[in-house]
Amino acid sequence: MDVPPLLPPPQHLTLTDAVCVLPTAGLVVLRGREPWRNLAAARCVQQALHTGAGLAWSLGAAHGGGVAIELVDDPAADVPEQGYTLTVDAAGIVVRAAAPVGVWYGAQTLAQLLRWRGRVVPGLQIRDWPDLACRGVMLDVSRDRVPTMATLRALVDRLAGWKFNQLQLYTEHTFAYQAHREVWADASPLTGEDILELDAWCAERFIELVPNQNSLGHLERWLRHPRYAPLAETHSQFEAPWGPMQGPFGLAPDDPAALALIEGLYDELLPHFRSRWINVGCDEAVDLGQGRTAARVARDGVGRVYLDFVLKIDQAVRRRGRRTMLWGDIVTRHPELIAELPRDVLAIEWGYDADHPFDAALARYAAAGVPRMACCGTSTWNSLAGRTTNALENIRNAALAAQRHGAYGLLVADWGDNGHWQQLPWSYLPWAAAAAHAWAGQPARAADLPALAGRWAFGDPSGATGAIIADLGDCYRLVGSEPHNASVLALVLQECDELTPALLASLDFATPARALESLAASLARATITGPDAVLVRAECDWTIDLLRLACHLGGALQRAAPAETYATLHATLRRLIGEYRRLWLERCRPGGLPDSVAHFERLSRVLADRASIP
């Protein structure tokens, strides 16, 4: 008998010889002291009966006999926290858990079984629970995509079905703060009403919506406005680890008005969320000490100046009855300060390369008794179609280290650097991998994760679509160079005038171009189903066309192609920009679109110049 293709794979699954044949009419029974707490789980099963087996079953709180599906909320159930058991035999199906959250997770597993096998469900016994208490996704909604509410609701449903239980929306300027309208006026921001609605939607699906507001760096969209400009660390050029940058970038942490601004943001933002956490960001304070705090940093050190501000932020959070999460990159580089972090501040160790040293960093936090979390990434930003091998290794290593060092959980970040060019479906495989590794790492390491993503993300029962998507995400490796946190194919489009002749001569654009043609043909024949299947296929086709453009442009740069070649590339880019605008508005609000397209327009001007197009 085939092993059920479940995502995430359960901790323990035993197949039996029994079979449960579901009748045309039946009852999903909610059992427990407060059956209404499991109504959302029952509706999930009810919907799966309809879509997977064509059955219209009712819901009830009492079993009148016959084959039934029982969702049992039993505090005495012998399962770990968030765990459940699921039994299928000839008499029916029983999900049992000690709390409604376990019933919910059991219902998600059962829903997949029903969609897999329909009304004839194989006999089995599952005993399941998560390795990590928190399994989260962080979506960048500031650079530059702000999703529509329909997109966010659909995303929450997908993540809930894969047993994620936290969502963060990374925010710099895209919440509609009523006292700061000039900052978000053109950004189509999330409003308080949006957050209240989304918070309720998440809560019904056992996902905690955590407020996220960067509170030190990455605030250039605030500091460029006259009202906030005096709060900046610097408006001059400064040195970042990746090269020179032009200020403003971050707040001057010693300015009391900077702290007052952040406290005012918390006062307006936090009441919209039921979560008791807030992620205050405070990552990449790369301008610190290169402006107004230069003298103090020279005297006390950048780590001390940073930590003093973080402690003030934490006090502000505490006064509002919340707990602080913050990115751990600065403190990780100053390990002597880790012990000074309050013991209820959660440090999030982030890294997006396959070999990021999660073990060493989390071990230091564990030794100091500081709560900790690992954050990996989808590797989709600055890459067009993702970086599959890097992403899967990064996710696996982060989850392993998180479990090894007693971390609170795993967060997988989906960033939008340089215009957020990547289309949403390229994040499905990394999200599926994170769901699997965070829930049950040992079974996940043995699972065919692309096949599971193909089935449960792209609606392909064969799973083949997931393998094609994975291979497309690795085409960048065929170029012969793998830069940090990006792919060469993306860099060719973003920085084509900055690529040196020596670098270009070392690259191979013909091999990935050939691979793209083969994979594009395979994807055209592959099965993609679901309510947004037409859109998903269009997003994938657009991405393949953009990858083709990158390969052709790389080849043109290598051989010093004539103007006619660049004219053809320019025409292709103009067509892709038009399609990009259309696809953007299918899932996202219009506000960030001009900023995103501006990155393409820079390339368009370069191609026009080389083609002598006025």
* CA-based nearest residue to 430, from 445, 450, 409: 450
If asked whether residues 333 and 197 sit together in one domain, one would say yes
Question: What is the mean pLDDT of the segment spanning 37-65?
Answer: 94
Angstrom distances, CA of residue 198 to CA of 145, 203, 269: 17, 8, 14
pLDDT of residue 14: 97
Q: At residue 527, does pLDDT exceed 90?
A: yes
CA distance 166 to 175: 19
User: How many residues are present in the chain?
Assistant: 614
The residue range of the domain holding 585 is 466-610
Question: What is the mean pLDDT of the segment spanning 361-381?
Answer: 97
Contact (Cβ atoms closer than 8 angstroms) between residue 314 and residue 279: no
Give one DSSP letter per residue of 262-278, joined into a string: HHHHHHHHGGG---SEE
pLDDT of residue 497: 87
Per-residue pLDDT tens over the stretch 485-510? 999 999 999 998 888 899 999 999 99
* CA-based nearest residue to 575, from 550, 545, 553: 545
pLDDT of residue 63: 80
Question: Any idea of the CA torsion for 461, 464, 466, 469, to the nearest 10 degrees?
Answer: -140
CA distance 183 to 221: 7
If asked whether residues 189 and 318 sit together in one domain, one would say yes
If asked whether residues 208 and 315 sit together in one domain, one would say yes
Mean pLDDT over all residues of the chain? Answer: 96
The predicted model scores a pTM of 0.97
pLDDT of residue 2: 85
Q: At residue 605, does pLDDT exceed 90?
A: yes
What CATH number did the domain enclosing 561 receive? 1.20.120.670
Question: What is the mean pLDDT of the segment spanning 340-362?
Answer: 97
If asked whether residues 150 and 108 sit together in one domain, one would say no
If asked whether residues 424 and 483 sit together in one domain, one would say no
If asked whether residues 152 and 87 sit together in one domain, one would say no
Q: How confident is the model at residue 187 (pLDDT cuts 50, 70, 90)?
A: very high
If asked whether residues 443 and 485 sit together in one domain, one would say no
Residue 453 domain-assigned (yes or no): no
Q: At residue 64, does pLDDT exceed 80?
A: no
Q: At residue 356, does pLDDT exceed 80?
A: yes
Domain final residue pick, 447, 477, 504 = 447
CA distance 140 to 487: 19
Residue 531 domain-assigned (yes or no): yes
Give one DSSP letter per residue of 294-347, joined into a string: HHHHHHH-HHHHHHHHHHHHHHHHHHTT-EEEEE-HHHHT-GGGGGGS-TTPEE
Per-residue pLDDT tens over the stretch 232-280? 999 999 999 999 999 999 999 999 999 999 999 999 999 999 999 999 9
Give 135's strand partners: 410
Q: Which of 51-55, 59-63, 82-86, 181-185 has the lowest mean pLDDT?
A: 59-63
Q: At residue 561, does pLDDT exceed 90?
A: yes
If asked whether residues 115 and 142 sit together in one domain, one would say no
Contact (Cβ atoms closer than 8 angstroms) between residue 7 and residue 432: yes
Q: At residue 470, does pLDDT exceed 70?
A: yes
If asked whether residues 110 and 219 sit together in one domain, one would say no
Q: Alpha carbon 442 to chain centroid distance?
A: 22
Q: How confident is the model at residue 300 (pLDDT cuts 50, 70, 90)?
A: very high
pLDDT of residue 399: 98
Helix pair angle (428-439, 464-473), 10° resolution: 110
Give one DSSP letter per residue of 226-241, joined into a string: TTTGGGBS-SSEEEET
pLDDT of residue 1: 62
